[in-house]
C-alpha cells in the first residue's frame, strides 16, 4: 500500500494511507539504535499497545478520538481513522476569525472532554492545541496523538501536569486566547468531582498562580 508522509516527530512518522478501502493514518514508531534490540522492541510494543488501549477507552466512554483499525507490532505501526478537520492550533492562529461565542463553546468542549478523560484515569502526556481537532463532519472535538498516554490510578499532580502542558502551549503560541484557556479550566473544574482540586494544583504553576 502507498503511504504519504504527513509529519515526522521525535518518536514516530505519521503517514496517510489506505486500510481496507478507507483513508487511514499509519503511525510508525522509530527503532532506537542506542537501545538493545530486545529491550527496544519490548518498550515499543508496550507504547503501541498503551496508545491503542487509550484510544479505544476514549471512544468507549464517549470521548471523540480516532478509531483504531489495526496494531501491527511487527512493523511498529498503528493504523487508525483519518479525521478530516482543523486543529485548535489552526483555529486560534488567527483569533479574529473566532467570535466570543465560538471561543466559549470551544472552551466548553475542551474542558468537558479533558475532565472525562481524567475521570477515567487516563493521562494524555502531550496535550497541545495541535492534538485537539474539530471534525469537519459534525464539529465534534477529537483528541489525537496518544503516543505518551497511559492509564493508571493517576495522582492529582499527574492530571495537573497534563493541564499545565496545555497552558504552556497557550502561553507560548496563543497568548491572545488566554481567556479561552481560563474558561476551559473553569468548565473542567466543574465537570467532575476532583476537578477543582486538580485545577487548584495547576493554578499554582500557571497564569493564576
Distance CA 51, CA 151 (A): 10
Q: How far apart are the first and last CA of the chain?
A: 51
Cell of 99: 467570535
Just list the catalytic residues: 126
Amino acid at each position: 500500500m502507498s503511504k504519504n508522509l504527513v509529519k515526522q516527530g521525535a518518536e514516530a512518522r505519521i503517514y496517510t494511507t489506505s486500510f481496507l478501502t478507507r483513508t487511514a493514518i499509519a503511525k510508525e514508531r522509530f527503532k532506537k539504535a542506542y537501545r538493545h534490540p530486545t529491550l527496544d522492541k519490548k518498550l515499543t510494543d508496550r507504547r503501541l499497545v498503551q496508545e491503542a488501549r487509550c484510544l479505544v477507552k476514549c471512544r468507549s466512554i464517549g470521548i471523540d478520538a480516532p478509531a483504531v483499525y489495526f496494531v501491527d507490532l511487527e512493523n511498529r505501526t498503528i493504523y487508525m481513522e483519518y479525521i478530516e478537520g482543523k486543529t485548535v492550533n489552526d483555529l486560534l492562529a488567527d483569533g479574529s476569525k473566532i467570535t466570543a461565542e465560538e471561543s466559549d463553546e470551544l472552551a466548553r468542549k475542551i474542558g468537558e472532554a479533558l475532565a472525562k478523560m481524567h475521570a477515567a484515569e487516563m493521562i494524555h502526556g502531550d496535550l497541545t492545541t495541535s492534538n485537539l481537532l474539530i471534525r469537519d463532519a459534525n464539529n465534534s472535538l477529537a483528541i489525537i496523538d496518544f503516543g505518551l498516554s497511559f492509564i493508571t490510578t493517576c495522582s492529582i499532580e499527574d492530571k495537573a501536569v497534563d493541564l499545565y502542558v496545555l497552558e504552556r502551549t497557550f502561553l507560548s503560541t496563543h497568548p491572545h486566547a488566554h481567556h479561552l484557556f481560563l474558561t476551559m479550566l473553569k468548565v473542567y473544574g466543574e465537570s467532575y468531582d476532583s476537578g477543582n482540586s486538580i485545577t487548584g494544583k495547576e493554578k499554582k504553576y500557571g497564569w493564576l498562580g
